[in-house]
Amino acid sequence: MLRDNTLLDTDGRRSEISLWRFMIDQRFQKLGYGRRALELVLAHARSRPGITSIQTSYVVGPHGPRDFYLASGFRHTDQVKPNGEVCLTFDFV
């Protein structure tokens, strides 16, 4: 699930995109589907006016997506949400 404020904000003041939920069924993980789907999400984000990065977050745990996101080019922002999710960003610049 993707939150794309560029589709709602016509004056460009709130231009941001965040990857809110990204899940691949366990049976289909490690087959390249997730990586390809994320490439399509990033391509969409790059195509939006005023967007220079995309944000996401993850829950820390043994089966979490941290390594997947880091290997895909996301980096930590040093922010943690009140619910404990660790924030990441992918910069296009």
Mean pLDDT computed over 25-35: 94
- Give me the pLDDT at residue 10, please: 61
| Lowest-confidence region among 24-28, 48-52, 74-78 | 48-52
Task: Compute the CA torsion angle 8, 12, 13, 16 (nearest 10 deg).
Answer: 70
Question: What's the predicted TM-score (pTM) here?
Answer: 0.86
Q: What is the pLDDT of residues 38-68, one digit of tens each?
A: 999 999 999 998 899 999 999 999 888 999 9
Query: In the β-sheet with 86-91, what is the strand arrangement from edge to edge?
Result: 2-4, 17-19, 53-58, 86-91, 75-80
CATH number of 2-91: 3.40.630.30
Task: Write down the mean pLDDT value for the chain.
Answer: 91
> Going by C-beta distance under 8 Å and a sequence separation of 6 or more, which residues neighbour residue 56?
18, 19, 20, 22, 69, 74, 87, 88, 89, 90
Q: What is the pLDDT of residues 7-22, one digit of tens each?
A: 776 665 667 899 999 9
- Give me the pLDDT at residue 9, please: 61
Give the bridge partners for 45, in sequence order.
none
Which residue shows structure tokens 């460009």? 12
Bridging pattern class, strands 75-80 and 17-19: unpaired
- Give me the pLDDT at residue 6, please: 80
- Cβ neighbours of 74 (radius 10 Å): 24
